[in-house]
């Protein structure tokens, strides 16, 4: 039985170095870092909720920000990349 996962873009701006490092580690555990404070991930709703709960324990709402964008399959196919890097491939997909 496969779990349905959606493609998310997570971007943060964290004012404090210690909090930023903690949030980065949380994101790195479940997502692919594509820029310093930007991550791409295929997550189930339960996985996203778990990640956001953990981040919520660290993030200070009056100083920091986190944006989570859900990109549908149609939107994901229109992602344009310039320069170095690649768009995170879907789980289970092998590109040769």
The arrangement of secondary structure in 6-76, i.e. its CATH architecture, is: 2-Layer Sandwich (3.30)
Q: In what order do the strands lie in the sheet with 6-13?
A: 32-35, 38-43, 6-13, 65-71
Question: Model pTM?
Answer: 0.86
- Tell me the domain boundaries of the chain: 6-76
Q: Check if the beta carbon of residue 6 is closer than 8 Å to that of residue 42.
A: yes
Angle at CA 59, nearest 5°, toward 53 and 61? 110
pLDDT tens across 72-81, in order? 888 888 888 8
Choice between 93 and 35, residue whose per-residue pLDDT is larger: 35
Q: Which residues contact 69 (CB under 8 A, 6 or more apart)?
A: 8, 9, 10, 11
């Amino acid at each position: 039985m496969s779990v349905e996962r959606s493609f998310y873009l997570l971007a943060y701006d964290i004012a404090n170095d210690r909090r930023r490092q903690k949030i980065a580690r949380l994101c790195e555990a479940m997502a692919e870092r594509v820029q310093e404070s930007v991550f791409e991930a295929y997550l189930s709703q339960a996985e996203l909720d778990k990640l956001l709960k953990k981040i919520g324990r660290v993030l200070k709402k009056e100083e920091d920000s986190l944006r989570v964008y859900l990109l549908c399959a149609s939107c994901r196919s229109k992602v344009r990349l310039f320069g170095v890097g690649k768009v995170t491939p879907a789980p289970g997909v092998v590109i040769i």
